[in-house]
Structure 1
Amino acid sequence: MSVKVSVIVPVYNPGRYIDDCVDSLLRQSLPDDAYEVIFVDDGSTDDTPARLDAVAAEHPHVHVIHQENSGWSGKPRNVGIEASKGEFVMFVDNDDYLADEALERMYDYAIANDADVVVGKMAGKGRPVPVELFRRNHPKASVANAPLIDSLTPHKMFRREFLDRIGLRFPEGRRRLEDHVFVTEAYLRAGNVSVLSDYVCYYHVRRDDASNAGFQQLDPAGYFKNLREALDVVEAYTEPGELRDRLLRRWLRNEMVERMRGKRLLAMPEDYRRSLFAEIHATAVERFGAGVAAGLPPAQRVVAAMIAADRYDDVVAFAEWESGIAVRAVPEGVEWHEGAVRVALRAEFTSGGEPMPFPAEGVPATGEPPLDAAEAVDWVCADSVARFDTATADLLLRERESAAQHFQSVRVTRETVPEGEGERVRLVLRASATVDPATAADGVAPAAGLWDAFVRVRLGAWTKECRLGPAPAQDRPTPSAGVAGGRVVLPYWTHPHGNLAFDVDRASKRLGLSEVTHTMVTVSGSGLRAPVPLYVPGESEVRLRLTADRSVEVPGRLSPAADGRRAVLEAELPLAELRAGTWRVALGPVPERFLALPLALEAADDGTVRAVPATTPRDSRPLLRRVRSRLGRVLRGAANRVTKHRR
């Protein structure tokens, strides 16, 4: 089989952080002979080179290239390209990792859409990743019809023949933004770019020690010198006009304006932020025409105008105001409805922890932004009121372990709430979201795990997100667990913060099954009937596992009870197979999962069966606790004697 994908990993002193990367590359669903992994060790001084050599010795499709340190990732990636044999090359950083089916899905997507570049959905573990780009699949994407320019990291799949044909390689040496130069040219010259959004392919990880290259403090002069090279690429492959301005706007917004806003600016040492401001001012004046800043949202336009006018003090004052702005989302209802969890919420921006006041009359932000910070605040707030009819709120489910996130279906209404004498108002968004266990993860059921609910709000000048909560404890909605979409789903409130989360196929004790006592079970003939505190949207097949010295599984069904919040369990018992004795009972609401019920069935010699309390096998834990406690006392006594002796 020819090599479909070559995975290229530049490596420099990753330590233990490379373990997840290596493991994920060895777990890929593609056959081993359909892909290769090329680690390019850029002069590591830790034990990584020997560890990688050992991996390569065990896996013929893994290769290691050793070279002297080049200073950055550009040369190792280029060396990997030259050594690759794959139809496509995929770049992975040594502290990140891939999902198990990433290579297979991205390759198949590239072939299906004749793509030169495939952008796979990313999840950020402690790192920001694009959100809007991955709302849906884009099989035929370009910089003109999709926000590709939001994703300029190199963690994508590129057709090798395309790279060779246009002569595209990474800039080399000790430098920043080499990936911007490479990826931007690839986007602008590709025959087609495909964005795969219905499967998380790439996990972008921030190290615990924050030593990823991208988190190191930048040298302003060197950084913006390198940034200008990315701008050169845009100007080389586009004509003057709206598209070019929109692309250049990405660097003005992300690399300049956003560094001069809110808490991000205020966290910098004074001397450093002044030198950074000076370099940003020089670059903005030199490279960006009026059309670039004109397309920014009002708050960013204000900061861009202040930068261009060299108004450092006003930039700081405006940042001090913005630093107090946040978003708050409060759940108002959580209930099962037609097989899904329906979530009602309200969201609004806050300032200094209180609901943010806006002028009662909105005025669209037109013309040149004011340069005085106080006037700019009024200008931005009045525009936010004028734009309120376009404000949006999204509910996202984010897996706690992996940070994979998925948009849920949401309907939004907008409410203007008068404040005081009516000269000020609050802008409140009310949303109704649907979390369907069958489709919540981009059309498929979410994986087993804990999923946190986040709300993402876009209003005028700001796009911010927060957890959904806390819900007031006194009137907090408490939906039951449910069986829907082939999953056991428990909506719950985190402790102690009271934020909404979902336990998918993991909870057992919190499901409420302890409420099913033996007195609630009816056994008539061979039929068993019992109420179960689980929501079901309709009749569903389940399994019962009866265990004594052996196990017997029998089919059953769950049907909605009259109140719609509980279910009724019914099953036919195999009386001929139940020898006399006590049989523990477990419910299997979904395949491969059985949940113990706090009851047992006692079979008599005459073939009758009755429900009895479950007996718990003798537990050795009390004895272990006593042993540990005594050992602890002995050790503490010995430590005290040593201390007294030293004194």
Structure 2
Amino acid sequence: MLRTNPPRVSVIIPAYNSMPELTKCVTSVMEQTLGLDKIEIIAVDDGSTDGTGDELDRLAHTCAALRVVHQANSGGAGGPRNTGLDMADGEYVFFLDSDDYLGPDALRRMVAMADENLTDVVLGKMVSVGGRAVPTAVFSHNQPRTDIFSSHAYRTLGCWKLFRRSLIERLELRFPPYRNCEDKPFTAAAFLNADGISVVADYDCYYSRNRENGNNLTLTAADLVHRMDGTRLCFETVARYLEPGPRRDRIMRRHVEWELCGPLRALLPKESEQRAREFFYPQFRHWARSYATDGVFQQLTPPDRLIVHLLRADRYEDLMTVVRNAKEDAARGNIVDKGRVYWCHPFFRDPVKAVPDVCFDVTDRLPVHHELDEAAWTGEGGVLRLAGHARIESVGALEPESRLILRPRGFEHPDIRIPVAADETSGFTADMDLSTVDSGAPLGPGVWDLYLDVRARGVSRTVRLRQARTDPSGKRTAPPKREVVTVPRPGHEPTTARPFFTPHGNVSLEIRLTEDEPPCQVTGIAWDTSVPATLIVTGRLTDGPSRHPRPTSLRAETDSGAVREVPLLYAQDGRHTGFTARLPVRELPPAHWTLTLRTDEPSRRIPVPPTKGLTGTHWFRVSRLGRPYYAKPLPRGSKGALVLRVAPVRLTVALRRRLGR
């Protein structure tokens, strides 16, 4: 295949004695829906002796997109990856281990995510084959554009990701020549400098598996000696790119837990006494003193705090005692003292050891098991009854001092604490009279989040009140809206209360002045699949009181005052009256457009709420010589409404699209 344009993606495969898994690995790239005209495969045989090189040559004869390099064994995966990087021509680079394979649509989806959101790194959902551990938290949902401080992305520092190659070259990134942990500092540097990170979580992109013969490099090079250089470079990389402070502490915590405390606890006791004391211990102590700041220390679990404390205090013998007995000591249980819960470790309050109590304090880490069982209005008034159960693990039954807490979201107001009735089975019931709950006054307008202050044996833990259970359709049913009737008093206007569940099942309460109660609800926002760059907004008139006229049009407005409007078309849908509006976004000039619903009251506009499911879209504008444009949703605007950015695609991307790549 004669390539006339640079590939979109360079897939780099380091291979050493990779049979028989190698064949599926390579063919999974050949079968990508993105198309081989947009992919180059660079497979580097790192001195294999099991036929890996011959199999790569055979596959190359069947696929012109596959380039094979044979080189002397380098001792790790970093060397062949660097060879591939030096040869790569793609706009993006993807590293695929020869043990693993891709889902057929993986690269197309990841490239589309990077293109639409202009992100530098894309994580594709990983799947375990044969029990190999893979990260899961970061793949709970699609994330078009995020960063390491707003997601769990930094928990996965393996290099099996899509990287924008310009980022790699700008940072002059290459893999260090280590047998283990060589990819962590590489990925960490990319994460710390990336202009945005995307996550594809709705498709199984990367299948991670153990080899049949068990000789995965992470298993054969798992000793401490193979980890130390990579660990040191991880700490140095974070220190290089982040200034001291809370942001650095948050990232350093990951390395203190996973690269310092974990391997020290699991592997240091396996070393000889001399090597442990003279070689490994000084390095661990240096990292603890240099990078485990007080801010990091406070975030650690008690077992890790104890290790860091002993390292800082230069107490080698005590450290070795702790790590050798770690498994046994982990099961020793807890003790309650003066409202705090402590781990019953042998060193706890031993006057000879003199270890601070903070190294054993587990109070803030004890799980609180709780569930909302009932949420309903009682009678005809504004009394909302909430009932459920709650307990603090390993402490005791719920006590009468427990409280339900109403906490304002985004505005100033003291927390409102409401007594709960507790029973001996850790059940609770709370009745909130919204007309008098605020020290005899009605609950004020705004969103109030509900928390539970769970108390047992003097120990207090505050958790978000939630309902984990859903109905067979996966939904939770909240009580309907209700107008709160109060005794007329100056300064207190009639309000409408709307209990609701957040997407995670947390309970919240929205209070609106009845005069401000919106006459409608937006139920759907999506791009028309038949007409390019046309946004469809659907909704319905709301039940309950409203003193405002219903909306008449969908309005798009810029900060400079430019306005476009399209009418709402109404139709009866069962018991409800629904509406639809179709906005031709392709006709909007470049700008940030805020979307609202307009009513006949000039000052009354209803925000069109942002939605996580809305992605960007592209189209070609004939009036601009066929230049491509895009529209993408931005974070919530100042009016709490959906904002669309309309702009031309960058010329380099436009050229690539015009060439059919």
Q: With structure 1 as the length reference, what TM-score do the two structures score?
A: 0.52
Structure 2 residue aligned with 1:615: none
Q: C-alpha offsets along residues 611-646 of structure 1, whole Å, 9 cap, x if unaligned?
A: xxxxxxxxxxxxxxxxxxxxxxxxxxxxxxxxxxxx
What is the rounded CA distance, in whole Å, between the counterparts of 1:156 and 1:418 in structure 2? 43
Note if 1:40 corresponds to 2:40. Answer: no
Tell me if 1:303 matches 2:307.
yes
Quote the Cα distance in structure 1 between the aligned partners of 2:361 and 2:329: 16
Tell me the equivalent position of 1:158: 163
List aligned pairs for 1:32-181, cutoff 5 A: 32-125=36-129, 126-171=131-176, 173-174=177-178, 176-181=180-185
Query: What SS is found at the alignment partner of 2:20?
Result: helix
Provide the rounded CA distance (Å) in 2 between the counterparts of 1:10 and 1:186: 20
Contact 1:118 1:195 in 2 (8 A): yes
> How has the CA–CA distance of structure 1 residues 74 and 434 changed in structure 2, closer, same or farther, with 3 Å as cutoff?
same
Please point out which of 183, 192, 213 is paired with 1:188. Answer: 192
**1:30/1:415 CA distance change after superposition, 3 Å:** same
CA deviation string 1:48-74 (max 9, x = no partner): 111111111112222211122222222
Deviation of 1:363 after TM superposition, in Å, equals: 1.1
Aligned residues: 387
Alignment match of 1:359 (pick from 326, 331, 336):
336
Deviations 1:145-180 (A, max 9, x none): 223321111111011223223332323x35543312
**Alignment partner for residue 372 of structure 1, among 339, 347, 351?**
347
TM-score, normalising length from structure 2?
0.51
Distance 1:123 1:418, change over 3 A: same
Cα 1:266–1:218 change in 2 (3 A) is closer
Distance 1:320 1:44, change over 3 A: closer
Residue 289 of structure 1: aligned partner: 293
AA aligned to 1:28 is: Q
Deviations 1:88-133 (A, max 9, x none): 1100111122222211111111111111111122234433332322
The one-letter code of the counterpart of 2:164 is: R
Q: 1:231 aligns to what SS in structure 2?
A: helix
In the alignment, the residues of structure 2 paired with residue 361 and residue 200 of structure 1 have an alpha-carbon distance, to the nearest angstrom, of 50
Alpha-carbon shift at residue 240 of structure 1 (Å): 1.5
Give the direction of change, closer, same or farther, for the CA distance of 1:225–1:381 in structure 2 (3 Å limit): closer
Match of 1:12 in 2: 16
Q: Is the Cα contact below 8 Å between 2:179 and 2:226 reproduced in 1?
A: yes
Matched to 1:372, the amino acid is F
- Relative to 1, partners in 2 of residues 1:432 and 1:357: Cα closer, same or farther, differing over 3 Å? farther
Provide the residue aligned with 1:406 in structure 2. Answer: none
Tell me if the contact between 1:224 and 1:283 (Cα under 8 Å) persists in the aligned partners. no
Distance in 2, Cα, partners of 1:390 & 1:438: 24
Measured against aligned partners, the alpha-carbon deviations of 1:300-346 in whole angstroms (never above 9, x if no partner) come to: 212221232233454455456652589xxxxxxxxxxxxxxxxxxxx
What's the secondary structure of 2:157's corresponding residue? coil
One-letter code of the match for 1:68?
A: A
Does residue 254 in structure 1 map to residue 258 in structure 2? yes
Aligned pair 1:210/2:214, yes or no? yes
Identity %: 34
More helix by share: 1
What is the DSSP-based 3-state SS (H/G/I as helix, E as strand, rest coil) of the residue aligned with 2:340? coil
Question: In 2 relative to 1, CA 279–24 (structure 1 residues): closer, same or farther, beyond 3 Å?
Answer: same
Asked if structure 2 preserves the Cα contact closer than 8 Å seen for 1:357 and 1:424, the reply is no
CA contact (8 A) 2:157 2:184 kept: yes
For 2:458 and 2:327, locate their aligned partners in 1 and report how far apart those are by CA, in whole Å: 21
* Counterpart residue identity of residue 347, structure 2: D
Which of these residues, 263, 267, 270, is aligned with residue 268 of structure 1? Answer: 270
Secondary structure at 1:120 match in 2: strand
Residue type of the partner of 2:262? E
User: Is contact 2:306–2:360 with CA below 8 Å preserved after alignment?
Assistant: no
Residue deviations 1:571-627, cap 9 Å, x none? Answer: xxxxxxxxxxxxxxxxxxxxxxxxxxxxxxxxxxxxxxxxxxxxxxxxxxxxxxxxx
SS at match of 2:163: strand
The alignment partner of 2:306 has SS state of helix
Question: Where does structure 1 lack aligned partners over 5 or more consecutive residues?
Answer: 327-350, 394-410, 440-647
Give the Cα separation in 2 of the matches to 1:303 and 1:208: 37
- Matched residue type, 2:174: R
Contact kept? 2:335, 2:342, Cα under 8 Å: no
After TM superposition, give the deviation of residue 47 of structure 1 in Å. 0.6
SS state at 1:323 partner: helix
Contact 1:370 1:379 in 2 (8 A): no
Q: CA deviation at 1:38?
A: 1.4
Q: 1:324/1:25 Cα in 2 relative to 1: closer, same or farther (>3 Å)?
A: farther
Q: 1:434 to 1:260 in 2, by over 3 A?
A: farther
Aligned pair in 2 of structure 1 residues 419, 98: CA closer, same or farther (>3 Å)? same
CA distance in 2, matches of 1:201, 1:435: 30
1:10 is displaced (CA, Å) by: 0.7
- Preserved contact between residue 121 and residue 163 of structure 2 (Cα < 8 Å): yes
Alpha-carbon distance in structure 2 between the residues aligned to 1:243 and 1:212: 34
Equivalent position SS for 1:191: coil
